[in-house]
Amino acid sequence: MSSLAHRGLTYLGMDVHKDSISIGILAPEDDVPEVEKIFHDEASVRRFVARFPDTRRLVACYEAGPTGYELYRLLISTGVSCQVIAPSLIPRTAADRVKTDRRDCRKLARLHRSGNLVAIRVPNRQEEAIRDLCRARADMVEDLDRARKRLGAFLLRHGEVWRGGSAWTMKHHQWLTARRFDDPAMAATFAHYRSVVDARSRELTAAEADLAPWYGRDPFADSVRRLGAYRGVAQLGALTLASEVGDWRRFGRASAFMGFTGLVPSEYSSGGKTSRGHITKAGNWHMRTQLIESAWAYQSGPSVGVELRKRQDGVDADTVKRAWAAQTRLCGRFRRLAARKNFKNVVAAAIARELCGFLWAEMTAQKSA
């Protein structure tokens, strides 16, 4: 933007930490931001903002990070325009080898005024709360998986190997209960490992019970209903996707949404040479994990089972039609790719990428009257 567009606006570049905020203050008539450091709490921020006669002429920004969105909400409540910036999209030069809080906040202020920063979408409090609960459940799945692996490794070291089929079934639990160790220390170790597995299982069950009421409540009830019409996307998966994306229309194209999930291939092309590699794995890890998990459901031929039919009950007919088109396409594609590839996880990633496109098209389509 031209300098005329910035006339009268003061840009605040904020480098935010747990206990401090370094602020680069770029006044309308200045080219070099002044720097001030304040304590990171509500009172200090309000005191700083109160020094400016008109908060409507303040434009603030800071990088998305571990401090979350509370500073954004506080600044908005005081009348300050604020954006949260995507850290990975901040322009950087190869010669920039010095990083300090002062340099960072000055850089943010200058780049913000020149229009070279990309803002992320900030969820409202309820959206963030549900997203956090979904992420907590994902953490509990990881914790349970680690606890089970520790128990299995302990048993393997002592010659106790389960060969009765799938693990962690009722039959497997009965087999675990029957294990006995003569040494008291070994018996205590086994008991501790089992108790951790049981505790993690109960925690996961409780988290999923807390999530269940939100399947049919705002703000994600409609999204869960429509996404759940697709094969492999159960209600829990649909809520996870909906809470991570928020506003699907902020992605102008399906390819932009695929890039957001990190499921697109990396590429280095120059001149007449095109070179593509592994998926980027950039962007949202939680979405990527859920989409790949959903993609495995397309290994067999197209069909509508009891559970899927139940999820599609009462859903708009156009959504059901699009879900069937996605299923016929993806099931056939999974089968053809699996015949050519040695590793099915590569196939699942490719199917997940295409599933992204179908889900984006679904959530940006106009609902029929």
Fold of the domain spanning 3-114: Nucleotidyltransferase; domain 5 (3.30.420)
Looking at residues 73-98, what average pLDDT do you find? 92
Write down the pTM of the prediction.
0.89
**Pick from 154, 206, 207: which is nearest to 176 by CA?**
154
Q: What are phi and psi of 32, to 5 degrees?
A: -115, 120
Burial of residue 353, with CB atoms counted within 10 A of its CB: 0-12 exposed, 13-18 middle, 19 or more buried: buried
Neighbours of 111 (CB within 10 A): 17
CB 312 within 8 A of CB 362: no
Q: Where in the chain is the domain with CATH 3.30.420.110?
A: 3-114
Task: Please report the pLDDT score of residue 1 as a whole number.
Answer: 43
Location of structure tokens 């300090």: 100
CA–CA dist 38, 101 (Å, integer): 12
CA distances to 165, 258, 296 from 351, in Å: 28, 12, 8
| H/E segment holding residue 290 | helix 285-295
Tokens of 192: 């501790």
Q: Sorting pLDDT into bands at 50, 70 and 90, what band is 2?
A: very low
**Pick from 330, 313, 312, 329: which is nearest to 229 by CA?**
312
CA–CA dist 280, 43 (Å, integer): 42
Task: Please report the pLDDT score of residue 70 as a whole number.
Answer: 97
Tens digit of pLDDT for each residue in 184-199? Answer: 999 999 999 999 999 9
CA–CA dist 242, 219 (Å, integer): 9
Tens digit of pLDDT for each residue in 89-138? Answer: 899 887 788 899 999 999 999 999 999 999 999 999 999 999 999 999 99
Q: Is residue 369 predicted with pLDDT exceeding 80?
A: no
User: What type of residue is 289?
Assistant: T
Q: Sorting pLDDT into bands at 50, 70 and 90, what band is 362?
A: very high
Q: Which range among 56-70, 86-100, 267-281 shows the weakest confidence by mean pLDDT?
A: 267-281
CA–CA dist 93, 116 (Å, integer): 14
Residue ranges in 158-281 assigned as alpha helix (H): 170-177, 184-211, 221-227, 235-245, 254-261
Q: Which range among 173-187, 265-279, 354-368 shows the weakest confidence by mean pLDDT?
A: 265-279
Collapsing DSSP to helix, strand or coil, 14 comes out as: strand
Tokens of 142: 């990881």
For residue 270, the Cα-to-chain-centroid distance in whole angstroms is 32
CA–CA dist 249, 335 (Å, integer): 32
Q: Which one is predicted more confidently, 366 or 41?
A: 41
Average confidence score pLDDT of the chain: 93
Looking at residues 246-274, what average pLDDT do you find? 88
